[in-house]
Amino acid sequence: MKAIVNGALVTPDAVLFGKTLLFDERIEAIADARDPLPAGVETVDARGGCVLPGFVDLHVHGGGGYDFLDPDPGAIDAILRLHAAHGTTALFATTLTCPDEILYDGVERLAAAIGRGRPENGSDLLGIHLEGPWLSPSNVGAQAVKGERTPTKRVLDRLFALSGGRISRIDAAPELSAGIDLLAAFAKERGILLSIAHSAANAETALAAYEKGFTHITHLYCSTTTEHKEGQTVHAGIVEAAYLEDGITVELIGDGKHIPRETMLLCFKIKGADKVALVTDAMRAAGTDATTSILGEKKTGTPVVVEDGVAKLPDRSSFAGSVATMDVCFKTALRYGVPLCDAARSCTLTPARIAGVSARKGSLEVGRDADILLFDGNFGLQGVFIGGDRIR
Ligand SMILES: [Zn+2]
């Protein structure tokens, strides 16, 4: 058993002082610091810094030079190690729109990696997140969508079978054709989270999609809509729908580049930290000093440049994913003025709840996995425990 002493414990409801966090693979107890420790306990001194649950990233494509769709044998583990070293103790692997065969192969490899279990010094890979390919060609961002593609039963069945049931989330543009009803029914039957992404929908369409089961919005403000004119009629957009409907959860790219300060604060003010998850949406250059990179799988992806801490299409017409890690997202929220407990919640418990894993992940509570982060007084990451093992 280990014990973290002399730290401020950031729990879902309060910052606790004068407490000791006792854990093995799971959190065993939160004890009064004046109580004697059980015999044989290894103590870790937090030196007065904050102690947080491990970050949970709902949306990540890669890092450390690799994309989750790369065929290289070591790619998945390398990405999991890179993000773990930056405090992400659990994540969902996101696939980008790409040729069908690359998606099929990628999903199969990811399923195998989930089956193998957490690699040494790596994050827990909890599920597969399909970002597309059923996205709107008119709000595509940097994704390589060529014409609408409609979800069909054949493709959905094949993807789900290859994933061994590990697909936990599907993103789509709900304004696309009849295939969306089929997708909604497919996801509902299997407990898959549906999210509105890269969409040109207006608020009416987004709210109708919510009724069909699209309860989440992928990177709000990025490839989503706000109030706009269609012909001579003014419509509200996806952003207004997200604010109007309390049941909708959202994610924001927290790299400090995609979302300005006022927008992040507005989103927290309206939705509350319970409904806002911060994500990296990290691409392969995250955690490297590359100045050029590839968005998506290495042979079929899109060449991009990396400058000013963000990936961009070479003509600078669009951002092409972030190069952030979750420690950057957490610090960005704090720098923007989000209160500590809210910033922590949006990087931990809120994403865990959205993904349906909060019984194990996302909070410093007895019985949860011992995924624990130690920070210094400037919120620099000093230590990472995953399942009780110190990996940094
Ligand atoms: Zn993405």
Q: How many angstroms separate the alpha carbon of residue 131 from the centre of ligand 1?
A: 6
Q: How many angstroms separate the alpha carbon of residue 51 from the centre of ligand 1?
A: 29
Q: How many angstroms separate the alpha carbon of residue 194 from the centre of ligand 1?
A: 14
Q: How many angstroms separate the alpha carbon of residue 59 from the centre of ligand 1?
A: 6
Q: How many angstroms separate the alpha carbon of residue 348 from the centre of ligand 1?
A: 19
State how far the Cα of 135 lies from the Cα of 128, in Å rounded to an integer.
17
Q: How many angstroms separate the alpha carbon of residue 390 from the centre of ligand 1?
A: 29
349 and 256 part of one domain: yes
Q: Looking at the DSSP assignment, which residues form a beta bridge with residue 170?
A: 130, 194
Residues 302, 218, 329: CA angle, nearest 5 degrees: 85
Name the average pLDDT for the chain: 96
305 and 357 part of one domain: yes
17 and 137 part of one domain: no
State how far the Cα of 82 lies from the Cα of 284, in Å rounded to an integer.
10
Q: How many angstroms separate the alpha carbon of residue 62 from the centre of ligand 1?
A: 10
Q: How many angstroms separate the alpha carbon of residue 186 from the centre of ligand 1?
A: 22
Q: How many angstroms separate the alpha carbon of residue 2 from the centre of ligand 1?
A: 37
**Residue with the two structure tokens 């409609």:** 150
- In the predicted model, is pLDDT for residue 127 greater than 70? yes
DSSP state letter for 48: T
- The model's pLDDT over 342-368, given as tens digits with 9 standing for 90+, comes to 999 999 999 999 999 999 999 999 999
State how far the Cα of 172 lies from the Cα of 96, in Å rounded to an integer.
12
316 and 348 part of one domain: yes
Task: Average the pLDDT over 301-309 and give the result.
Answer: 96
41 and 127 part of one domain: no
Q: How many angstroms separate the alpha carbon of residue 125 from the centre of ligand 1?
A: 16
Q: Please give the model's pTM, rounded to 2 decimal places.
A: 0.97
pLDDT for 146 = 65
Q: pLDDT category, 242, cuts 50, 70, 90?
A: very high
Q: How many angstroms separate the alpha carbon of residue 252 from the centre of ligand 1?
A: 11
Number of folded domains in the chain? 2
Q: Looking at the DSSP assignment, which residues form a beta bridge with residue 92?
A: 127
223 domain-assigned:
yes
Of 281 and 147, the structure prediction assigns the larger pLDDT to 281
- The model's pLDDT over 213-241, given as tens digits with 9 standing for 90+, comes to 999 999 999 999 999 999 999 999 999 99
User: Which residues have C-beta within 8 Å of that of residue 233, sequence separation ≥ 6?
Assistant: none
36 domain-assigned:
yes
Tell me which amino acid residue 270 is: I
Q: What is the DSSP string of 276-333?
A: EEEE--B-TTTTS--SEEEESSTTTSEEEEEETTEEE-TTSSSEEEE---HHHHHHHH
**CATH classification at residue 14:** 2.30.40.10
Q: How many angstroms separate the alpha carbon of residue 322 from the centre of ligand 1?
A: 9
Q: How many angstroms separate the alpha carbon of residue 32 from the centre of ligand 1?
A: 43
Q: What is the DSSP string of 345-385?
A: HHHTHHHHHHTT-TTTSSS--TTSB--EEEE-TT--EEEEE
Provide, rounded to the nearest whole percent, the portion of the chain with pLDDT above 70: 98
205 domain-assigned:
yes
Residues 321, 99, 167: CA angle, nearest 5 degrees: 70
69 and 22 part of one domain: no
Q: What is the domain extent for residue 245?
A: 55-361
Q: How many angstroms separate the alpha carbon of residue 60 from the centre of ligand 1?
A: 7
Task: Decide: 172 and 197 in contact? Cβ < 8 Å.
Answer: yes
46 domain-assigned:
yes
**CATH classification at residue 177:** 3.20.20.140
State how far the Cα of 252 lies from the Cα of 330, in Å rounded to an integer.
12
Q: How many angstroms separate the alpha carbon of residue 267 from the centre of ligand 1?
A: 20
303 domain-assigned:
yes
Q: How many angstroms separate the alpha carbon of residue 370 from the centre of ligand 1?
A: 28
Task: Average the pLDDT over 326-339 and give the result.
Answer: 98
- In the predicted model, is pLDDT for residue 285 greater than 80? yes
Q: How many angstroms separate the alpha carbon of residue 94 from the centre of ligand 1?
A: 7
106 and 175 part of one domain: yes
Task: Decide: 200 and 233 in contact? Cβ < 8 Å.
Answer: no
Which tokens hold the place of 280? 């990296």
Task: Average the pLDDT over 17-28 and give the result.
Answer: 98
Strand 167-172 versus strand 193-196 pairing type: parallel
pLDDT for 150 = 85
Per the document, the length of the chain is 392
103 and 144 part of one domain: yes
- In the predicted model, is pLDDT for residue 269 greater than 90? yes
65 and 39 part of one domain: no
100 and 225 part of one domain: yes
130 and 33 part of one domain: no
169 and 299 part of one domain: yes
198 domain-assigned:
yes
Q: How far is CA 320 from the centre of its chain?
A: 16
100 domain-assigned:
yes
- In the predicted model, is pLDDT for residue 30 greater than 90? yes
370 domain-assigned:
no
Q: Looking at the DSSP assignment, which residues form a beta bridge with residue 66?
A: 63
